[in-house]
Amino acid sequence: MYSIIGSGIAGLACSSLLSKQGVQNEVFEKNNKILDQNYGIQLSPNASYVLEKMGLLELLKPKLKVINSIEVCSLQNLKSITTLPIGNFVKYNNLTNYYTTSRNELYELLRRDVENSGTTINYKSEITKIDDNNQKVQLYKKDGKIIEKEKLIIANGNAKKSIYKNIIYKNVTNNFLTLRSNITKQNIPFDIKGDSVMLLLGNHLHIVIYPFFNNELNVVLITDKKYFDNNLELDFGRIGYIDKKIFQLITECNWSSWQLQDRKIKLNLSPNKAIYAIGDAAHSIKPHLAQGSAMALEDAYFLANLITNKNKAKDIHQMLKIREKRVNRVINKSSQNRYFFHAISPISIIRDTILNNIDGASFLNTLKWLYCYKI
Ligand SMILES: Cc1cc2nc3c(=O)[nH]c(=O)nc-3n(C[C@H](O)[C@H](O)[C@H](O)COP(=O)(O)OP(=O)(O)OC[C@H]3O[C@@H](n4cnc5c(N)ncnc54)[C@H](O)[C@@H]3O)c2cc1C
């Protein structure tokens, strides 16, 4: 019996896959079943491929929007810098589509899949500490109970502090903030295509806008914490010139803010114990490549396969180490994007000039290792 901590994308996907292969498992989730605010999520082809392999893509299709292009534009004047023709890239490479969807729809689908397979999700069951000093693993619950388990999958996401001594968080910085809002198409003061992700680059900050649900668009703004005042309001005086329609959009949005944990995670997992970590619990990926949940899905699929193929713990750990190379490449690319997206003048001018002269299709070919990956 496997105990999975966390019913996020990684935990639920792993549970569903294990259950379908007859591997008994249970899930512990600290929160109640209440859904988050309904934000969007981008599912790149490597992520939608996992959902297809899980037999879930067809079920999610009514809630998916196909993305055919990524439009990179300037925050200063809204002009196009370059277009990445992701729809053609997908067709040419015979991939599943690049989609956007609602986070809640994805969670709900995974949740239903887990529950329909007879697996229990224990809500309001926060695990505060994991001990593995004996043969068994002790899970310390917030209500004071201690339960003994044999095998563990840690999928508790981007938690504030580590609950297991062998997962070490090295906090690098906490210096950037994310704002998110949903907005209806009519309330956006400029045109946006119904099948594209718009990436707006400026100095210090970037904004991503995409359709994800009926008439709703998801807007994400990421910038350094220093550009916010004490009330978490953007300090417009400091973020440089932006087009007045962008300014209008920013004031029109109903923002929620997150402080992102910008850290490194060191996994010191014992090679002989069936204790594994997946998703954001195992690696911290900046959101500048929209790959966090893609990696969570890939991790879940990878681990569940190793378990159902009856590999020994030692071999599973070894295979997970090999997978780390891909994840590290994603971490590095996301970090590079962070500097690239948030460059300040004159580097931002050079960035925009380079992008302006780039052929979008050739640029996407440099990301084949990421999007064409079939786990
Ligand atoms: C602004 C923003 C935009 C993003 N956009 C994208 C995108 O477009 N595409 C993409 O691929 N990724 C995106 N991501 C990243 C993505 O959301 C995450 O990487 C992904 O949700 C990670 O999944 P997970 O299952 O590992 O963790 P989570 O989804 O965080 O799930 C962890 C679960 O564990 C539970 N939990 C935590 N601690 C405990 C505990 N002690 N005991 C029990 N339960 C616990 C939590 O309540 C939660 O349900 C974005 C992230 C941000 C911040």
Task: Select from 325, 298, 15, 28 the least CA-distant residue to 163.
Answer: 28
* Ligand 1 pocket by Cβ (under 6 Å): 5-11, 28-31, 41-42, 47, 126-127, 155-159, 163, 178, 180, 220, 258, 260, 279-281, 287, 290-294, 296
pLDDT tens column, 82-126: 999 999 999 999 999 999 999 999 999 999 999 999 999 999 999
Mutate to test the pocket of ligand 1, among 12, 27, 30, 217 (most ligand atoms within 8 A of CB): 30
CA 181–ligand 1 middle distance (angstroms): 17
Helices within the chain (DSSP H only): 9-20, 45-53, 57-60, 86-92, 103-116, 244-252, 292-308, 313-341, 347-356, 360-365, 368-371
* pLDDT(245) > 90: yes
CA 8–ligand 1 middle distance (angstroms): 6
CATH architecture of 1-32+123-172+263-336: 3-Layer(bba) Sandwich (3.50)
pLDDT tens column, 28-84: 999 987 666 679 999 999 999 999 999 999 999 999 999 999 999 999 999 999 999
* Whether CATH 3.30.9.30 fits 38-101+175-260+343-375: yes
* The two structure tokens encoding residue 109: 């689908």
pLDDT tens column, 322-337: 999 999 999 999 999 9
Which atom of ligand 1 approaches the CA of 156 most closely? 34
Write down the pLDDT at residue 315.
97
* The two structure tokens encoding residue 176: 């950037």
The region of weakest confidence among 61-70, 130-139, 267-276 is 130-139
Tell me the β-bridge partners of 188.
none
The pTM score is 0.96
CA dist 100 to 63, 82, 313, 318, Å? 9, 20, 36, 34
Domain with CATH 3.50.50.60 in the chain: 1-32+123-172+263-336
Domain with CATH 3.30.9.30 in the chain: 38-101+175-260+343-375
CA 280–ligand 1 middle distance (angstroms): 6
- CA-nearest residue, atom 19 of ligand 1: 292
Mutate to test the pocket of ligand 1, among 17, 102, 156, 333 (most ligand atoms within 8 A of CB): 156
CA 31–ligand 1 middle distance (angstroms): 13
Tell me the β-bridge partners of 263.
171
Write down the pLDDT at residue 280.
96
